[in-house]
Amino acid sequence: MNNKLFIFLMCLISAGTAAVQAQSKADQPNIIFIFADDWGYGDLSAHGSTWVDTPHIDNMIGEGMDFSNFTVNSPVCSPSRVAVMTGQFPARQSVHQHFQGWKAHEKRGMPDWMDPNDISLPREFQKAGYVTGHFGKWHLGWSSKDAPKENEYGYDEYATFNGSKTIDIPKAGSIGVDYAEDFIKRHKDKPFFINLWLHEAHTAHYPQERFMNEFGELDEQKQVYASIIAEGDEAVGRITKLLEELDIDENTLVVFSTDNGPEWEGGEDEKQHKGDPVGLGKYYSVGETGGLKGQKRSLFAGGIRVPFVAKWPKVIPKGVKDDTSVVTAVDLLPTFLEAANITMPKDFQPDGESMMEAFKGKSFKRSKPIFWEWKGGTSKAYTWPTLGVRDGDWKLVVDITGDQYELYDLKKDWKEEHDLATSNPKKAKKLLKEIKAWKATLPTEPRPSCLSSVRK
């Protein structure tokens, strides 16, 4: 073989190898899910807030898509996160309030932690060859000696608060973001999946002086809250900037959302966070729902409709606001798996469905209803519904007795201001029947494998 022919063949082989590697990287995009805590739909400057400032998330919106019809599957933290991790409504694991301690769980009919033997989003990525990491909040169990460690759910690396305390990090500051940045730098040449779950804007609030100075013209409550939101927004900016610096942003899907609506504002007696001499309390919880009814702990829109922003260059169109796609947190598992070309386990039936068509800017019409179960409600305004369903454009919320319910046409009434249960009893009865049928499929007791030894 002469030298020219040999060089030509080697060039062909090299080009082919490069093409295969490029295709492989495209087939295995990096995925980063940033989940904030207790932000309202209106807690973005892009969503109309006149006193918080979120330039980095606004920039994500300009370079990606903003979904206005996204809901989480619980109005509180732990069950909302179970939905993300499992692709199923949290009631399927009897998780319908936050994890707190075995006595509270026993009273509520809850397990002591999310089942590590059930499907887990990071584990599916891990099985597909991804490097997986979880940084920041955990709260998928309580810190019992019996509780599973984070790695038992499919994580290669983790550093958490409200977790197993194996690698325990403080809530205050941005330590979780530091860990995430380090993880990205070390694994930039491999496909990776990251859950980055921020503390902001949950109480206790730990505002940084530099942000307090930035919002010094605001009143005391807004100054603290705007500072907390700014810290969360900065975390988003740090991650997106790093991806660009490492030249891996085009092959990375970044999603920002939050676990439920904003916390209720507290009285002046709640300026200090209970049990925390440093952190500021609920008095400073003045988040905005964008005019939606209800807040955290409510199945009305303000408690479950939250920001949802996605950026993925070359896949997600730029600067698009999607007002029509009805998407929810249990959709994330099937969506992320499809994005990464990972096959869904054959024996698994998700409650969600992939929204990849919506990510591509195409028409998306969901085929499955969305259900909610929340057992922490009270007689307080907006927190009384314990069950809910959205089917098509219609939503029904029901109290614990099943006798009080309200019906909304969300296509015409986005803010849920006009109860149509009396004027459209046929639709109300139909949705009541759907809720009862769904409720009948749920477990009546938590799984024994998810109970602490003190309860066995």
Instruction: For 19-62, write each residue's pLDDT tens digit.
Output: 434 445 568 999 999 999 999 999 999 999 999 999 999 999 99
Q: What percent of the chain has pLDDT over 90?
A: 90
Could you tell me the domains of the chain?
28-368 (3.40.720.10), 371-439 (3.30.1120.10)
Q: Which tokens belong to 335?
A: 């969506």
How high is the pLDDT of residue 275? 86
- Per-residue pLDDT for 259 more than 90? yes
Chain segment 296-350, per-residue pLDDT in tens: 999 999 999 999 999 999 999 999 999 999 999 999 999 999 999 999 999 999 9
| Confidence tier at 18 by pLDDT (50, 70, 90) | very low
| Confidence tier at 377 by pLDDT (50, 70, 90) | confident
Measuring CA to CA, which residue among 380, 42, 359, 395 is closest to residue 226? 42
How high is the pLDDT of residue 423? 98
Share the mean pLDDT of the chain. Answer: 94
Amino acid at site 283:
Y
- Sequence-ordered list of residues with C-beta below 8 angstroms from that of 163, at least 6 positions apart, any chain: 137, 138, 139, 140, 143, 150
Amino acid at site 441:
T
How high is the pLDDT of residue 24? 53
Measuring CA to CA, which residue among 181, 189, 215, 214 is closest to residue 34? 181
Amino acid at site 141:
G
- Sequence-ordered list of residues with C-beta below 8 angstroms from that of 66, at least 6 positions apart, any chain: 46, 307, 308, 309, 320, 321, 322
| Confidence tier at 144 by pLDDT (50, 70, 90) | confident
**Cα–Cα distances in Å, from 97 out to 78, 85, 169, 431, 446?**
7, 16, 24, 24, 13
Chain segment 161-183, per-residue pLDDT in tens: 999 999 999 999 899 999 999 99
How high is the pLDDT of residue 21? 42
**Dihedral angle of Cα 356, 358, 81, 55, to the nearest 10 degrees:** 120
Choice between 1 and 100, residue whose per-residue pLDDT is larger: 100
The phi, psi pair for 141, rounded to 5°, reads 170, -175
Would you say the C-alpha torsion 412, 416, 418, 422 has a positive or negative sign? positive
**Cα–Cα distances in Å, from 454 out to 68, 95, 99, 444, 451?**
44, 19, 16, 20, 8
In angstroms, the CA 370 to CA 361 distance is 22
- Per-residue pLDDT for 5 more than 80? no
In angstroms, the CA 348 to CA 279 distance is 42
Lowest mean per-residue pLDDT among 105-109, 169-173, 279-283, 377-381: 377-381
Chain segment 121-137, per-residue pLDDT in tens: 999 999 999 999 999 99
Mean pLDDT, rounded, for 420-439:
98
How high is the pLDDT of residue 20? 38
How high is the pLDDT of residue 382? 94
SS3 141: strand
- Per-residue pLDDT for 368 more than 90? yes
Q: What percent of the chain has pLDDT over 70?
A: 94
How high is the pLDDT of residue 145? 87
Contact 386, 374 (CB under 8 A): yes
How high is the pLDDT of residue 10? 54
What is the spatial order of strands in the sheet that 370-373 belongs to? Answer: 370-373, 387-391, 394-398, 405-409
In angstroms, the CA 238 to CA 61 distance is 16
What pairs with residue 391 in β-bridges? 394
